Amino acid sequence: MAFVNLFRRICLHVSCRCYCYRYFPCLEDPARRSSLGLKLVLVILHLVYVGALFFFDKDLIDKTRREPWYTAFYVLLVIATLIQYFITACSSPGYVTDAMRAVSQTNSSSAKAAKQAASNKNGSIVVVADDPLRRQLLVNNSDSWSKTVADLYPLGTPTRNYICSYCNVEQPPRAKHCHDCNRCILKFDHHCTWLGTCIGYRNHCRFWWYICEEAALCLWTTYLYISYLQGNVSVSWWKSAIMIALLVFLLMSLIFLLLLLFFHSYLILTNQTTYELVRRRRISYLSHLPQRVFPFSRGMCRNLYYMCCGGAHYMERIPSQQELEERFRPYTCFDALTCRCCF
């Protein structure tokens, strides 16, 4: 009898799940459910911290009546942080397949322009069977991506070094296959579990702005919590216990966010990624370089420009030995005057 009841419960549970997935097919994927659950938890945490302030702190309510702009700026920061979170979570990190499509479209446009240039005055295309221009166009279109990727690597690099064993596509330098997304990412940094997406070339700047806004919000909220505890010493013990517990967790989050903000600021200024910094000895084009040499850095100003204003599918070439030797050269007083470290 117990076995029959257990079987009925299992069948009821499965039927309910199937009924829900019929109307919400996006929840059928376990990874998607986990990502949506984390997003919901993060939103709830923000609402809990803000709600606890307005529920317990009567002085903040009185200050809001006297100076509404103060609370308005704080609420706007909360909303802006949540919006930036969802923008970053829904943004594309930059996939290798998108870059392949962009290169193919560019070469197709070039091929059409070359055909139009070869046409006569009446608009008819003059191409014979043994036309060298026609043969060159066909070769470029069929192998355009392979040639683009090969030109980014030093001469003599084996083809197997930049072919993904999972996607079977040619990866440009700094790209990596993400096992969570099951796709190759341009300028792969890391896979963020809280965002539910990878951080790559196209959304690294948005990720930095989200961390910056979250850290500013934590700082402001910490100040409000400390102000409440200092001005309400004689309140009920359970109110103080709740606020102290929230404050402890908030301080831990603040320390983590500040460290993460400084770390990614350093990565952006030196044009590095988390994966390159952690797995430097396992990457073929970085393993032979000294620890403090950043081969892709163009100086702080240009690194910031390419991070914020670079193209949609920006791919970086591995520097030659001569360029690396120039970067190995020690700094002098003249280099400081010419801002060599910046440009």
Write out pLDDT tens, residues 34-46: 778 888 999 999 9
Asked whether residue 148 carries a pLDDT value surpassing 90, the answer given is no
- As a whole number, the mean pLDDT across the chain is 80
Name residue 215's amino acid: A
C-beta contacts of 325-331 below 8 A and 24+ residues apart: 327/293, 327/294, 327/295, 327/297, 328/290, 328/293
Average pLDDT over residues 22-49: 74
Average pLDDT over residues 303-313: 74
Query: What confidence tier does 219 reach under pLDDT thresholds 50, 70, 90?
Result: very high
Average pLDDT over residues 184-210: 93
Which among 178, 217, 175 has a CA at the least distance from the CA of 195?
Answer: 178
DSSP 184: E
Q: Are 104 and 123 in contact (CB under 8 A)?
A: no
Which region among 127-136, 143-152, 174-183, 196-205 has the lowest average model confidence (pLDDT)?
127-136
pLDDT of residue 118: 54
Average pLDDT over residues 247-271: 95
Q: Are 192 and 198 in contact (CB under 8 A)?
A: yes
Cα separation, 194 vs 38, in Å, equals 6
Average pLDDT over residues 185-190: 94
Distances (CA, A) of 213 to 12, 79, 80, 84: 45, 10, 8, 8
Please list the active-site residues: 192
Asked whether residue 333 carries a pLDDT value surpassing 90, the answer given is no
Query: What confidence tier does 110 reach under pLDDT thresholds 50, 70, 90?
Result: low
Question: For the chain, what percentages of helix, strand and coil (3-state, to nearest 5) are there?
Answer: 65, 5, 30
pLDDT of residue 320: 82
Computed from CA positions of residues 258, 260, 263, 268, in that sequence, does the dihedral angle turn out positive or negative?
A: negative
Asked whether residue 2 carries a pLDDT value surpassing 60, the answer given is no
Q: Locate 30 and state its tokens.
A: 């376990």
Q: Are 209 and 84 in contact (CB under 8 A)?
A: yes
Cα separation, 203 vs 189, in Å, equals 10
Q: Locate 309 and state its tokens.
A: 């204003």
Average pLDDT over residues 145-170: 84
Distances (CA, A) of 28 to 35, 36, 219: 12, 12, 38
Q: Are 53 and 225 in contact (CB under 8 A)?
A: yes
DSSP 119: B
DSSP 123: S
| Residue for token pair 């529920």 | 55
| Residue for token pair 């200092």 | 230
Cα separation, 246 vs 259, in Å, equals 20
pLDDT of residue 255: 96
Pick from 50-59, 111-120, 248-257 the range whose average pLDDT is largest: 248-257
Q: What is the three-class DSSP state of 57?
A: coil
DSSP 282: G
Cα separation, 48 vs 246, in Å, equals 9
Asked whether residue 125 carries a pLDDT value surpassing 70, the answer given is no
Query: What confidence tier does 208 reach under pLDDT thresholds 50, 70, 90?
Result: very high
Q: Locate 206 and state its tokens.
A: 């948005």
Identify any residues that bridge with 44 across adjacent strands, giving them in sequence order.
Answer: none
Which among 62, 60, 37 has a CA at the least distance from the CA of 50?
Answer: 60
Q: Give the gyration radius of the chain's Cα atoms.
A: 28
Share of the chain above pLDDT 90, in %: 37
Largest Cα span, the chain:
95
Which region among 128-132, 207-211, 252-256 has the lowest average model confidence (pLDDT)?
128-132
DSSP 198: E
Annotate 202-227 with b (16+ C-beta within 10 A) or e (fewer).
bbbbbbbebbbbbbebbeebbebbee
Select the more confidently predicted residue: 29 or 68: 68
Asked whether residue 15 carries a pLDDT value surpassing 80, the answer given is no
